[in-house]
Amino acid sequence: MITLKRETSFKPNYEIRAWKYMRLSAILLVPLVWIHTIINTLIVGAENINLNFVATRWANIGWQVYDILLLTFAFSHGVNGLRQVLFDFTQSHTARRILNMLLLLFWILLSLVGASAILGGIEK
Amino acid sequence: MFNNIVHGVHGYTHYKGGAGHLSFVMHRVSGLGTLLFLSMHILLESTAHYAPHLYERLNAGLRTPIALAAEILMAFLVIFHGVNGYRIAYFDLFHIDLWSLPAAPKAARATWIVSLLLWFPAFIIMLLHGLHVI
């Protein structure tokens, strides 16, 4: 068996950091997302999810922190994933720049909407 | 860009890459599906804060057999994306040598088995919960 081992040293650019971020955030996302869905979908269940349930959740600082973490890591992982897929179909530098700006805008906008709702909670 | 997409999708469906290629395509499909779901999920849950009455109406409106079937399918996509993502992260970060024959396609097939095994109980429990509301 031939073992190839190549040691390289270079300064990581943005795309290399993004590549690494996808893998590191994945390690965090499996427990974050699965615990979220196991509790809400399998234990609590659709029949018990209503405005009152969400209000109780978002009145608790622990769940607010949990949901903010979930929103931050899941959505950034997702939008960057979409960016990678779209870049596979886009060669021109200009088109990639436009896509980058649109995706950044989409990411910031939805993150702000979600985070403000989580932190704002629900008045009973 | 349109031509690129046509050629790209043709490549996705025609490339004979076996289990590894199937995982690649499935990782993209499940990722895009999950992002679509997540975007709608963020907007829907946000209405609980911004427009509580709208939240209750949307929540009640989504309790249909089609929505339940979509959620159960979504569960498989999320499970597969997670299991396959762990395989990719583990290989890339800790065991780059595993991206080779015969380990790689074997691991790709194992990903499907693990995902299906995890999905099966979720499928049953979601169906039981779903029957309460539809």
pLDDT in tens, A34-92: 999 999 999 999 889 999 999 999 999 999 999 999 999 999 999 999 999 999 999 89
CA atoms within 13 A on the CB side of B112: 11
Total domains in the fold of chain A:
1
Distance from CA of A15 to the nearest CA of B (A): 15
Contact: A26, B129; criterion CB under 8 Å: no
Spatial distance between the Cα atoms of B124 and B133, rounded to a whole number of angstroms: 15
Give yes or no for a contact between A67 and A118, defined as CB atoms under 8 angstroms apart.
Answer: yes
pLDDT in tens, B66-101: 999 999 999 999 999 999 999 999 999 999 999 999
Query: Is the predicted pLDDT of residue B61 greater than 60, yes or no?
Result: yes
Assess if residue A97 is contained within a domain. Answer: yes
Give yes or no for a contact between B83 and A26, defined as CB atoms under 8 angstroms apart.
Answer: no
Concatenating the DSSP letter of every residue in A51-115 gives: HHHHHHHTTSHHHHHHHHHHHHHHHHHHHHHHHHHHHHT---HHHHHHHHHHHHHHHHHHHHHHH
Q: What was the pLDDT predicted at A25? A: 98
Q: What was the pLDDT predicted at B132? A: 87
A105 touches chain B (CB under 8 A): no
Contact: A117, B50; criterion CB under 8 Å: yes
> If interface means Cβ-Cβ distance under 8 Å, which residues of chain B face chain A?
1, 4-5, 8, 28, 31-32, 34-35, 38-39, 42-43, 45-50, 52, 55-56, 59, 63, 68, 71, 75, 78, 82, 85-86, 88-89, 92-93, 97, 122, 125-126, 129-130, 132-133
CA dihedral A31, A33, A36, A41 (to 10 degrees): -120
Query: Is the predicted pLDDT of residue B4 greater than 60, yes or no?
Result: yes
What residue type is assigned to position A30 of the chain? V
Contacts of A82 in chain B (CB under 8 A): 31-32, 35
Assess if residue A83 is contained within a domain. Answer: yes
Q: In this structure, what token pair is assigned to residue B50?
A: 């911004």
Domain with A58 in it: 14-120
ipTM over 0.90? The verdict is yes
Q: What was the pLDDT predicted at A3? A: 65
Distance of CA B101 to the CA centre of its chain: 26
Q: What was the pLDDT predicted at B77? A: 98
Q: Could you tell me which CATH number the domain at B2-133 has?
A: 1.20.1300.10
Concatenating the DSSP letter of every residue in B37-85 gives: HHHHHHHHHHHHHH-HHHHHHHHHHT-SHHHHHHHHHHHHHHHHHHHHH
CATH assignment of the domain containing A116 = 1.20.1300
Assess if residue A66 is contained within a domain. Answer: yes
State the pLDDT confidence band at A112, using cuts at 50, 70 and 90.
very high
